[in-house]
Amino acid sequence: MLADLGLAEADRRRRAQALDALLPTLAEALDVREVFQRVSALAREVIPFDLLELGILNEDRTHARVYAASDGCETTEPEFRLPEVIRSSVMEDFTIASYAEIDAATGRARIILHSAESPEEKQVELVLPLERIQKHLALGIRSLLRVPVRLKGETIGALLFFSRELRRFTAVEADSARRIADHIALALAHQRLAEEQRRAAHLEERVVALTRELEIKGGSHQPVGVSKPWKETLALAGKVAGTETTVLLTGESGTGKEVVARFLHRASRRAPGPFVALNCAALPEQLLESELFGSEKGAFTGAVATRPGRIEQAASGVLFLDEVGEMSRTVQAKFLRVLQEREFQRLGGSRVLKADVRVIAATNRDLAAALARGDFREDLYYRLHVFEIRLPPLRERPEDIPALLELFLQEIGEQVGRPAAGVSREARDKLLAYAWPGNVRELRNAVERAVILSEGGLITSNHLPMSLGRAPVAAAAPAAGEIPSGGIDLEAIERSWVEQALKQAGHNKSKAARLLGLTRAQLYSRIEKYGL
């Protein structure tokens, strides 16, 4: 009896040592496939088997593929569909089975399942790919032990032990098999983490390279910023840039949507092609339609010649549609055809033209709300909303203000021919403390004004717009009576009214202009003036 106990203890220690040896073996390589033969050899010291496979499930768990296998197993076969009995609860616990007969006509194999809960046998028919069953039988396989491989509590695949001996596996060996599967799951987790880190590093290098490229080119469309929200925005852009996916840029006005759109263009396969931008809110419906699709001679009064539209001008490149939420429903219906069928017709024409463009759209409106109101077509919304990138407002990334300030000082100084000598500490503090409701555009406007007023000297707080040094003014008319001794800021009051009108009109420029008693052109001049 004591001798038997000694042998059992020695066998237990041998199994434990073999299992412990798996960890350093798996840690040697970031790809489990590189060391799978050694893993198989160590596992065989614990569980007698003839062949070993690591199967990985696809995302919807309906198919699997052999990810790694010991010598003698086929690893080049494509994904195969899993039968329902395996896709369900069987995958969540170990399975011990014995192969029985196969009906070559139907491809059905009778397999005896040995239940984990009870020693009773259950004979079932599994509809497996006939070729796969034939391979197993040709290799003389008669027994199977399957244990799930889990990551973060989710089954991602299975480790399968095959034996040519009938009824070879027991529940005792299933426990050791689960420990081996846990070791492999840990290695797969490290492998995936390393792959994600490599992809993230590659993406970051690509973003940095493209940013430097645009900085060298200069101009006001440089993606400047070091803050986390801005870096995350560019990282998203870097991920989708290499595809042909339609991108929707959302966020407040003045956050830099065209900057990101140009970044997407430079990072895409269409970089050699043109970048064509169109502001959908700057034109009335008929002019927008003509500008977008082009027009044939005689299509309308003044159309004295055939003229290509922005879609044609952007051929093999990118079409950037700013303020896409301002499109009328008529133009929306026609543009939907561009996204669905990749074709269009010029205004007044009958010839169908191909649209070889990638569309990047932008809006500061809540398109979902416009959809609910019936102002925006549902089918176009979902066509545009394939990949959304939200741009953070400047108040969420104040760390980027110094870099933007230096960029605008240099750029505007060159434009006006009188670069400022610098910015005083007091003025810089005010720039950093301000909430910037007009975002980057408002910052640029403020810097441009200050550079002009400073006449080549040091920019002080006196050169900044008055609103930067005051609390926001309520959007209400001043009460009758004397003007306060400290004076009032008419610009701040006017800006407040414009903001309220835009909000009340749901950012519909025509409605807002009517509320203010302005023409559309007058409203646009104030929107530009206040960086809205």
Interval 338-369: pLDDT, tens? 999 899 888 888 788 899 999 999 998 888 88
Which range, 141-150, 161-170, 402-411, is most confident?
A: 402-411
Residue 220 has pLDDT above 70, yes or no: no
Q: What is the pLDDT of residues 366-407, one digit of tens each?
A: 888 888 888 899 999 999 998 999 999 999 999 999 999 988
Predicted confidence (pLDDT) at residue 249 exceeds the cutoff of 90: yes
Position with higher pLDDT, 477 vs 21: 21
Per-residue pLDDT at 460 exceeds 80: yes
Other beta carbons within 10 Å of 399: 14
The pLDDT of residue 196: 66
Q: Is 517 left (phi over 0), alpha (psi -120 to 50) or beta?
A: left
- Cα(359)–Cα(146) distance, rounded to whole angstroms? 49
CATH code given to domain 487-532: 1.10.10.60
Question: Looking at the DSSP assignment, which residues form a beta bridge with residue 145?
Answer: 96, 161
Are 36 and 188 within 8 A, CB to CB?
no
Q: What is the C-alpha separation between 273 and 356, in angstroms, rounded? A: 11
List, for residues 473-510, the tens digit of each pLDDT value: 444 444 445 565 555 566 677 777 888 888 777 777 77
If phi > 0 it is left, if psi is from -120 to 50 it is alpha, else beta; for residue 412 that is alpha
Residues 303-330 pLDDT 10s: 667 888 899 999 999 999 999 988 888 8
Distance (Å, whole) CA 476 – CA 492: 11
Q: Which pLDDT value is given to residue 133? A: 63
Residues for the chain: how many in total? 532
Assess contact for 138 and 207: CB atoms under 8 A.
no
Q: What is the DSSP string of 107-146?
A: TEEEEEEE-SS-S-EEEEEEE--HHHHHHHHHTT--EEEE
pLDDT > 70: percent of the chain: 70
Token output for 248: 């929707």
The confidence score (pLDDT) of residue 473 equals: 41
If you compute the radius of gyration of the chain from its CA atoms, what whole number of angstroms results? 34
Residues 179-205 have a mean pLDDT of: 71
Instruction: Examine the pLDDT at 515 and tell me if it is beyond 50.
Output: yes
250-281 in b/e form (b: 16+ CB < 10 A) is bbbbbbbbbbbbbbbbbbbebeebebbbbbbb
**Whether the predicted pLDDT of 21 surpasses 70:** no
Between 309 and 66, where is the model more confident? 309
pLDDT digits (tens, 9 = 90+) for 22-40: 556 555 656 777 777 888 8
Q: Which fold has domain 2-194?
A: Beta-Lactamase (3.30.450)
- Of 60-64, 133-137, 222-226, 514-518, highest mean pLDDT: 222-226
| Spatial contact of 352 and 311, defined as CB atoms under 8 Å apart | no
In 3D space, the residue among 120, 116, 118 whose CA is nearest the CA of residue 148 turns out to be: 116
45-54, 200-209, 448-457, 489-498: least confident range: 200-209
Distance CA 200, CA 198 (A): 5
Residue 334 confidence (pLDDT) above 50: yes
Please, which pLDDT band fits residue 207 given cuts at 50, 70 and 90?
A: low
pLDDT at 209 over 60: no
- Please give the CATH superfamily to which domain 218-392 belongs: P-loop containing nucleotide triphosphate hydrolases (3.40.50.300)
- Mean pLDDT, the chain, integer: 76
- Give dist(CA 524, CA 162) in Å, integer: 74
> Is residue 363 within 8 Å of 325, Cβ to Cβ?
yes
Which is higher by pLDDT, 286 or 227? Answer: 227
CATH architecture of 395-469: Orthogonal Bundle (1.10)
Asked if pLDDT for residue 438 goes beyond 80, the answer is yes
Mean pLDDT of 199-205: 59
Q: What digits encode the pLDDT tens for the residues 73-84?
A: 655 555 666 655
Residue 45 pLDDT: 81
Biggest alpha carbon–alpha carbon distance for the chain? 110
CA distance readout (Å), 348 to 222, 289, 296, 305, 357: 39, 11, 6, 12, 22
Best CA proximity match to 190, nearest among 311, 31, 50: 31
Is the per-residue pLDDT at 3 higher than 50? no
Identify the band that residue 277 occupies on the pLDDT scale cut at 50, 70 and 90.
Answer: very high
Residue 248 has pLDDT above 90, yes or no: yes
Is 90 exceeded by the pLDDT of residue 7? Answer: no
Q: How confident is the model at residue 18 (pLDDT cuts 50, 70, 90)?
A: low
Q: How far apart, in whole angstroms, are the C-alpha atoms of residue 376 and residue 488?
A: 40
DSSP 29: -
Helix orientation angle between 171-217 and 257-267, rounded to the nearest 10 degrees:
110
Q: Tell me the domain boundaries of the chain.
A: 2-194, 218-392, 395-469, 487-532
Give the pLDDT of residue 275: 92
pLDDT tens track for 84-123? 545 554 455 677 777 655 555 555 555 555 544 444 444 4
